[in-house]
């Protein structure tokens, strides 16, 4: 038993030594791995590097690949390989699981191969455990959206949610925060104009610059189009699609002019703020303010008219359709309908008190009072026009395939096809907001919020640009036609003097006598 006891003692001492010296944890102090859900690592790491310095130099070689963003999981994967998670109670560090490696390899290997590189041997995926179990532990990592949050971020999020819930409860009990005022007529708290409403000043400045750029560009393009049409004495507007294109540009130009004035003088006119009991309040739904309602009404009316003119292009670009001929024969009625139809939803919006100011832009819009009114008066408008324009384009294209003799304005057809595409993108922004309400995208300057609040101006810029290009094309084509035919001066028609009857008779008589004498 003596040798056996000695063997057990030696084995026990060896295990204690391995437990004491095999896993020494140290903090992860690297800029690329600062957002890991753990903060302790150990060496040697999973590629055999013995020091923090070696691991830091090695992981920096992947910085160009990280800049490409081929996979949202790449950063976590690399950090878990070069700085694996350490736990003093475990004998080995914890690295990534094999599915995580395979997912990153699938997305990033094509990028490496395009530059002539292969997948590095040191991070070969078969080196990592297939799954996390008792024998070999590993980390599955984040999902493809990179949803990693450390405990501090989660704590801040919980505090923010609790604060919002407390503020909401206080509002229901008639207790308003310091930056809000209780409004008796609506029995709710209204923010002061000094309240930023979780919108950063940088985001507001970016939104203002975007609105000014698009609106000024559209106004300039509209003025140039009107100048060209005026020089031609309206001869360039010979057909219904050309007329609809020009008047759509005019209506969008009016919309852009309203935006220019509103953005430039919103502080002087106090468009989004109103006085109430010695307080300057931000205009919300149910709080009437004449400048705010005026701006919202003019923008909504002119923008809807512009869309209806665009819709007319969808119906009239192929003259072979019956609808195009009917619209061409009833131009006066069509114009009256385009000017009158927007009044119906506008009156409903005013009755529903759907006008409010937007915290990001500082302007007032129809539907900004709540998400419900936004869906009713903006999303539904685009949805209806999207369906009608799509049906009109489909019908015209089917008619185009059925006959060889067609009178088609191809340029107008291209312009007509742009609107349903833009309307679809606009509606997808609404759906994105509805599916991800926690992101509060309307409180920051991003692609979704910018598309929504500047959609009128985006359509305006597109329509006015195409209209100006088309007018230039018409002028160039007409001038080239004149140059090919050449200048042909008209032959003057001089009046011929009438020959008296007596002179004609005498001449004939003398000629007759002369012939008889001969």
Region of 234 please: left (phi>0), alpha (psi -120 to 50) or beta: left
Measured CA to CA, the distance from residue 48 to residue 55 in angstroms comes to 9
For strand 95-96 and strand 138-139, is the pairing parallel, antiparallel, or unpaired? parallel
Residue 380: half-sphere exposure toward Cβ, Cα within 13 Å: 11
CA nearest to 447, candidates 433, 460, 435? 433
Q: Are 104 and 79 in contact (CB under 8 A)?
A: no
Here the tokens at position 481 are 């036609």
Identify any residues that bridge with 356 across adjacent strands, giving them in sequence order.
365
Where along the chain do its domains lie? 15-139, 162-191, 198-481
CA nearest to 300, candidates 219, 374, 392? 374
Q: What is the CATH number of domain 198-481?
A: 1.20.1070.10
Token pair 């509606």 in the structure block, residue: 427
Q: What b/e readout covers 308-327, taking b as 16+ CB neighbours within 10 angstroms? A: bbbbbbbbbbbbebeebeeb
Q: What separation in angstroms does the CA of 264 have from each of 191, 193, 194, 363, 450?
A: 23, 18, 19, 11, 18
Distance linking the first and last C-alpha atoms of the chain? 176
Provide the pLDDT for residue 196.
73
Provide the pLDDT for residue 285.
83
For strand 279-282 and strand 273-276, is the pairing parallel, antiparallel, or unpaired? antiparallel
Q: What separation in angstroms does the CA of 189 have from each of 68, 181, 182, 329?
A: 46, 5, 4, 55
Identify any residues that bridge with 366 across adjacent strands, giving them in sequence order.
355
CA nearest to 80, candidates 114, 119, 30? 30
Residue 346: half-sphere exposure toward Cβ, Cα within 13 Å: 18
Provide the pLDDT for residue 254.
96
Provide the pLDDT for residue 25.
87
Residues 6+ apart with CB under 8 A from 176: 170, 182, 189
CATH number, domain 15-139, options 1.10.10.10, 1.20.120.1780, 1.10.2000.10, 2.60.120.620: 1.10.2000.10
Measured CA to CA, the distance from residue 188 to residue 239 in angstroms comes to 55
Three-state secondary structure call for residue 159? helix
State the 10-residue block means of pLDDT for the chain, 518 residues long: 42 41 74 85 90 90 86 91 87 89 91 87 90 81 54 44 55 66 74 80 90 96 93 83 93 96 86 82 85 94 96 91 88 94 95 92 92 94 96 88 70 93 95 80 85 95 95 82 51 53 46 44
Q: Are 307 and 255 in contact (CB under 8 A)?
A: no
Q: Are 460 and 256 in contact (CB under 8 A)?
A: yes
CA 346-428-70 angle, to 5 degrees, is 150
Three-state secondary structure call for residue 139? strand
Q: What separation in angstroms does the CA of 210 have from each of 108, 267, 364, 449?
A: 35, 18, 16, 12
Q: What is the phi/psi pair of residue 183, to 5°?
A: -100, 120
Measured in whole angstroms, the distance separating CA 371 from the mean position of its chain's CA atoms is 18
Measured CA to CA, the distance from residue 333 to residue 487 in angstroms comes to 42
Number of other residues whose CB lies within 10 A of the CB of residue 174 = 11
Q: What is the pTM of this model?
A: 0.63
Provide the pLDDT for residue 18.
42
Measured CA to CA, the distance from residue 29 to residue 27 in angstroms comes to 6
DSSP string for 381-443 = HHHHHHHHHHHHHHHHHHHHHH-S---B-HHHHHHHHHHHHHHHHHHHHHHHHHH-GGG-GGG
DSSP state of 320: T
Identify any residues that bridge with 95 across adjacent strands, giving them in sequence order.
138
Three-state secondary structure call for residue 504? helix
3-state DSSP: the chain helix, strand, coil percent, rounded to 5?
65, 5, 30
Residues 6+ apart with CB under 8 A from 474: 236
Provide the pLDDT for residue 512.
43
């Amino acid at each position: 038993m003596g040798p056996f006891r000695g063997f057990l003692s030696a084995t026990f001492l060896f295990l204690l030594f391995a437990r004491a010296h095999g896993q020494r944890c140290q903090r992860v102090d690297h800029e690329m791995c600062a957002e890991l859900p753990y903060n302790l690592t150990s060496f040697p790491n999973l590629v055999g590097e013995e020091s923090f310095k070696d691991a830091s130099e090695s992981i920096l070689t992947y910085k160009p690949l990280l800049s490409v963003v081929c996979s949202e999981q790449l950063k976590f994967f690399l950090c878990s390989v070069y700085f694996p998670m350490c736990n003093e109670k475990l004998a080995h560090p914890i690295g990534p699981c094999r599915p995580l490696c395979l997912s990153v390899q699938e997305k990033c290997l094509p990028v490496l191969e395009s530059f002539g590189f292969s997948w590095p041997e040191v991070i070969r995926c078969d080196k990592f455990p297939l799954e996390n179990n008792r024998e070999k532990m590993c980390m599955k990592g984040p999902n493809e959206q990179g949803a990693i949050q450390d405990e501090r971020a989660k704590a801040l999020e919980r505090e923010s949610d609790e604060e919002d819930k407390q503020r909401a409860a206080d509002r229901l009990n008639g207790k308003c925060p310091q930056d809000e005022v209780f409004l008796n007529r609506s029995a709710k708290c209204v923010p002061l104009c000094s309240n930023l409403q979780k919108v950063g000043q940088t985001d507001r400045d970016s939104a203002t610059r975007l609105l000014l750029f698009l609106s000024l560009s559209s106004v300039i393009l509209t003025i140039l189009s009107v100048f060209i049409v005026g020089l031609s004495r309206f001869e360039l507007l010979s057909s219904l699609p050309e007329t609809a294109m020009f008047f759509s540009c005019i209506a969008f130009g009016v919309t852009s002019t309203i935006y220019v004035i509103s953005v430039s003088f919103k502080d002087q006119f106090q468009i989004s703020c109103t006085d109430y009991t010695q307080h300057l309040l931000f205009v919300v739904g149910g709080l009437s303010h004449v400048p705010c309602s005026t701006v919202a009404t003019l923008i909504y009316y002119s923008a809807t008219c512009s869309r209806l003119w665009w819709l007319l292009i969808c119906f009239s670009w192929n003259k072979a359709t019956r609808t195009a001929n009917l619209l061409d024969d009833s131009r006066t009625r069509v114009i009256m309908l385009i000017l009158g139809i927007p009044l119906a939803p506008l009156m409903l919006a005013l009755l529903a008190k759907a006008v409010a100011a937007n915290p990001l832009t500082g302007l007032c819009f129809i539907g900004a009072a709540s998400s419900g009114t936004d869906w009713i008066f903006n999303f539904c408008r685009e949805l209806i026009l999207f369906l009608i324009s799509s049906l009109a384009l489909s019908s015209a294209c089917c008619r185009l395939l059925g006959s060889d003799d067609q009178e088609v304005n191809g340029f107008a057809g291209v312009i007509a096809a742009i609107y349903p595409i833009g309307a679809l993108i606009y509606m997808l922004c609404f759906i994105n907001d509805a599916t991800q309400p926690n992101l509060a995208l309307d409180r920051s300057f991003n692609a979704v919020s910018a598309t929504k609040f500047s959609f009128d101006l985006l359509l305006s810029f597109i329509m006015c640009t195409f209209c100006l290009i088309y007018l230039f094309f018409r002028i160039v084509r007409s001038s080239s036609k004149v140059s090919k035919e050449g200048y042909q001066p008209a032959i003057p028609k001089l009046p011929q003097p009438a020959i008296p009857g007596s002179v004609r008779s005498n001449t004939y008589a003398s000629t007759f006598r002369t012939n008889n004498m001969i």
